[in-house]
Amino acid sequence: MATKLPPVDALLVGFGWTGALLGQELSDAGLNVLALERGGWRDTTTDFATTFIQDELRYYYRHALFQEPARETLSFRNSRSETALPMRQLGSFLPGTGVGGAGIHWNGQNWRFLPSDFLARSHNTDRYGAAAIPQDMTIQDWGVTYDDLEPYFDKWEYLCGISGKAGNIKGQIQPGGNPFEGPRTREYPNPPMEMTYGPTLFAQAANDVGLKPFPAPSANMSRAYTNPLGVQLGPCTYCGFCEKFGCGNYSKASPQTTILPVLLRKKNFALKTECEVIKINLDSDRKRAVSVTYVDTQGEEYEQPADLIVLSAFVLHNVHLLLLSGIGTPYDPSTGAGTLGKNYAYQIVSSVDVFYDDKILNPFIGAGALGMVVDEFNGDNFDHSNLGFLGGGYIACWNTNGRPIETHLVPDGTPKWGAKWKRAVVRDYLRSMSVATHGAVMSHRGNYLDLDPTYRDFLGRPLMRMTFDYTDNEHRMSDFLTGKAEQIARAMKPREIRSNPRKGHYDITPYQTTHNTGGAIMGSNPRDSVLNRYLQHWDVSNLFVMGSSTFPQNPGYNPTGTVAALALWSAQAIRTQYLKNPGPLVQA
Amino acid sequence: MANTERAASPGLNRRALLTAGIVAGSSLAISSGSATADTISQQVPWAPGEANNPAPVATGGYQFFTQDEVAWVDAVVSRLIPKDELGPGARELGVTVFIDRQLAGAYGRAERWYMGGPWAKGTETQGYQSRMAPAQLYRAAIKAVDGYCRNGFGGKAFVDLGAEQQDKVLGDLEEGKAKLEQVDGKAFFKQLLLNTQEGFFADPLYGGNKNMAAWKMIGFPGARYDYRDFVSKHGQRYPLPPVSLYGRPHWTPKG
């Protein structure tokens, strides 16, 4: 039997970015807040120190900061005709664990989605007609608009000290920024990062072919910064160990470097680590969440009651926990009925490598979000008439790293090993770089999450099962982007280029991106979505769900900026509406 | 305030908690299953002198491989990254030691991997589905590749083949043409190649990349942490030699 604990006002399940944001907001509102985190405590000096964090083997290839599949993983198949098998080792995506979550090891590429991204169905219907959306493409509007979220994007960017150049301030296009972005109220808090050679060459070539390159918005600090909470971040040193690593310099925005020094000192906040929530418990009429059950590392079970419960774990865990708790109706792809697990999506990436004879690029001088980008082919920034696909993505020259196990580009036709391979690596390591495309994945009827009938995790719970593949829409879109990237790469006048288009089925083994989305999506009515526009569960009004699990489909940008803006938007609704009058914020 | 029945008092530091057995801290290098639950309230846990340093591999003899297996791995990694006029190859830089230490440790036992059944081969996009952990896989695969060689090359083991024949065998493994007893040769080759590159390019503290020779060959400055002065020096070669997590050999005085 679980030991029943005294109640708290608000309970957070998972303590990464959204947990920290909600912890700060709800404790500011005077609530007694408790966060439960399945992993351990981490801090910069103890765990990410500059004396040892630059260790490619330990942190990337041996996954020191990531979720262990031995404890929790999922099963995967490309389609319902296959039997899902467990993801036995991490590959395609790298969920975090421990305090800070994936906010520790992200690159810091921070975006706002486009205004039209939030209106995926209505906007595309208006512009191209209903017939342009294939029948099995289950895209939806979000129920929230860019204008709703703008104040929260702004708040988040100032919290994190994002380095960048505005492209649109209150409707006025700004030279040097992204002319396609939605209007923002003010400039970024910090100027863009200093550019290395590779992105500079990319930007010149992009200009030459008539595009408008701009510096990527970055959560790596271009200068020392004190955020509105009074927490200080240091200038980035361009060490090239960002994504997959913690930052030893306090130079990358993370929960630890922006919020926790303030939040953890509050009297009305507590964090319990190494506590794994296994179930959300409802009352007898299943309209109210009364508590969660968690298990500690000794295997002891506890029941923690709370008035308000917020799921703030990674996208996959939020959905898994809802499935395990039996909250909501699981989605059935054969009928389209049910909403829980619906519209799982991902992103589709490709690249074009560029090789010079005469230019030393020093790829190791880098940072996670250091780069130049063009946005002409993202979202609906271009006319899709007769292209045969919807959506888009950005094309960027990121200079994230020159870590040699991971990054040693070789030209087309080079063997993968042996003397010729070695010669190419030695010749090209300092003289090569990559142009990346980062594309949207529209939701599709056959892509979803449910519980696996066979495989179980370390606590005996059914694994979540992922059924996912790219559709023709994604392949056409990605090929289109790759072609544009090739044009820019050629305009860079290199010795040669190597194009790496994305072909075939989605493959769970090579690393692509940790931008998993959907499964507990938001929307404007309970027939189509799990959550209302405030991320409140339609059926259980004291349950809120954060994270990219709320995305009805996945736009062509990195998700963290929108994840954070949604969390702050939801927190504001809780503070100003829900706490005064607990109950549904939107009538179904 | 929130329920914190085991709250640490603000004055009690992390080391004291560790001593008291209340906190196991964040032990990143080991499976986190051994840690105990902790409540953090009204403080930011921190203690001087605590650092999650990596441990250099032990010196001395092989810990996992037999002498015959050492000869086999030496031979294979010499083909995957050969010694040539550009510099030493994988064997010369200690990659065999690197793989030995990896297989003798947590990686060799697949401690982080999901190893529950049932097992099925699956599709290529479903990834690794063998019930063998890396250490078992190497042991079985080395034997199986030698069996494959003996069948195809008049009874000769891999190490007794000429370089061209060795490359042919490795190429057949890579392309899935070599069918092995009990082992997926293609999956094994992929892992072997990755482990070889890991040993060649990883920090020397793990046993390979001796004297940072692989980094010197390509121009990677290693575990440096501040390039601010050099960001704007487009096209110039970075002037400083590489450094590892444990410094440079000449920082330690001889004798």
Q: Is A84 inside any structural domain?
A: no
> Is A516:A93 a contact under the CB 8 Å cutoff?
yes
Contacts of B224 in chain A (CB under 8 A): 54, 239
pLDDT at B254: 63
pLDDT of A479 higher than 60: yes
Q: Residue B109: CB partners within 8 Å, gap ≥ 6?
A: B133, B134, B135
Q: In the block, which residue shows the tokens 């046993």?
A: B207
Tokens of B216: 């010197």
pLDDT single digits (tens) A370-402: 999 999 999 999 999 999 999 999 999 999 999
Q: How far from chain centre, in Å, is Cα B37?
A: 30
Express as a percent the part of chain B with pLDDT over 90: 77
Which one has a higher pLDDT value, B15 or A543?
Answer: A543
The 3-state DSSP class for residue A164 equals coil
The model's confidence at residue B46, banded by pLDDT at 50, 70 and 90, is confident
CATH number at residue A558: 3.50.50.60
Give the DSSP per-residue string, A236-302: P--BS--TTS--TTS-B--HHHHTHHHHTT-TTEEEEES-EEEEEEE-TTSSSEEEEEEE-TTS-EE
Among B37, B45, B80, the residue with its CB nearest the CB of A418 is B80
The model's confidence at residue B25, banded by pLDDT at 50, 70 and 90, is very low
The 3-state DSSP class for residue A124 equals helix
Express as a percent the part of chain A with pLDDT over 70: 100
Helical H segments across chain B, by residue range: 14-20, 67-80, 95-104, 134-152, 163-174, 185-201, 213-218
The per-residue pLDDT of chain A, averaged, comes to 98
pLDDT of A114 higher than 90: yes
Backbone angles phi, psi at B234, to 5 degrees: -60, 130
Residues across chain B: 255
Give the DSSP per-residue string, A177-200: S-TTSPPBSS--SBPPPPP-HHHH
Tokens of B60: 């001395």
Q: Is A124 inside any structural domain?
A: yes
**B134 CA: distance to closest CA in chain A (Å):** 12
- Strand A74-77 and strand A33-36: pairing? unpaired
pLDDT at A405: 98
Angle at the Cα of A377 from the Cα atoms of A372 and A382, rounded to 5 degrees: 140
Stretch A126-139: mean pLDDT: 97
Range of the domain at A23: 3-68+97-168+175-578
Q: Which of A217, A221, A313 is nearest to A258 (CA)?
A: A221
Q: Is A85 inside any structural domain?
A: no
pLDDT of B20 higher than 50: no
pLDDT of B7 higher than 60: no
- Exposure pattern of A84-96 as b/e (b: 16+ CB <10 Å)? bbbbbbbbbbbbb
User: Mutating which of B32, B173, B224 best tests the A interface, going by the most A Cβ atoms within 10 A?
Assistant: B32
pLDDT of A15 higher than 90: yes
pLDDT at A395: 98
Q: Residue A130: CB partners within 8 Å, gap ≥ 6?
A: none
d(CA A354, CA A434): 6
Stretch B88-107: mean pLDDT: 98
User: What is the pTM assigned to this prediction?
Assistant: 0.95
d(CA B62, CA A343): 51
The model's confidence at residue B50, banded by pLDDT at 50, 70 and 90, is confident
pLDDT of B5 higher than 50: no
Q: Is A81 inside any structural domain?
A: no
pLDDT single digits (tens) A338-360: 999 999 999 999 999 999 999 99
8 Å CB contact of A360 and B236: yes
Could you give the C-alpha distances from A565 to A113, A380, A524, A560, A585, in angstroms and in order?
Answer: 10, 21, 18, 9, 18
Q: Is A82 inside any structural domain?
A: no
Stretch A136-163: mean pLDDT: 98
Contacts of A266 in chain B (CB under 8 A): 42
Residue type present at position B212: M
d(CA A255, CA A228): 14
> Is B110:B133 a contact under the CB 8 Å cutoff?
yes
pLDDT of B1 higher than 70: no
Q: Residue A576: CB partners within 8 Å, gap ≥ 6?
A: none
The 3-state DSSP class for residue A588 equals coil
The model's confidence at residue B247, banded by pLDDT at 50, 70 and 90, is confident
pLDDT at B64: 98
**A298 CA: distance to closest CA in chain B (Å):** 7
Lowest mean pLDDT among A228-237, B19-28, B236-245: B19-28
Cis bond before residue B118 (omega within 30° of 0): yes
Residue ranges per structural domain of chain B: 1-53, 67-214
d(CA A6, CA A431): 61
**B231 CA: distance to closest CA in chain A (Å):** 6
pLDDT at B11: 36
Burial class (CB in 10 A: 0-12, 13-18, 19+), A186: exposed
Backbone angles phi, psi at A51, to 5 degrees: -85, -10
Total tally of structural domains belonging to chain A = 1
Backbone angles phi, psi at A397, to 5 degrees: -110, 95
Stretch A457-477: mean pLDDT: 97
pLDDT at B255: 54
pLDDT single digits (tens) A301-341: 999 999 999 999 999 999 999 999 999 999 999 999 999 99
Crossing angle, helix B67-80 and helix B163-174, to 10 degrees? 80
Q: Which of A242, A244, A107, A50 is nearest to B224 (CA)?
A: A50
- Chain A residue with CA closest to B202: the answer is A57
8 Å CB contact of B225 and A248: yes
Contacts of A57 in chain B (CB under 8 A): 198, 202-203, 206
Q: Residue A410: CB partners within 8 Å, gap ≥ 6?
A: A421, A424, A425, A428, A498
Q: In the block, which residue shows the tokens 């001088």?
A: A365
DSSP state, residue A574:
I
Q: Is A79 inside any structural domain?
A: no
CA dihedral A398, A404, A405, A406 (to 10 degrees): 10
The 3-state DSSP class for residue A498 equals strand
Secondary structure percentages of chain B, helix, strand, coil, to 5: 40, 5, 55
- Exposure pattern of A4-17 as b/e (b: 16+ CB <10 Å)? ebebbbbbbbbbbb
Among B2, B27, B123, the residue with its CB nearest the CB of A34 is B2
Lowest mean pLDDT among A109-118, A266-275, A319-328, B37-46: B37-46
Q: Which of B86, B166, B112, B159 is nearest to A87 (CA)?
A: B112
Has A320 been annotated as catalytic?
no
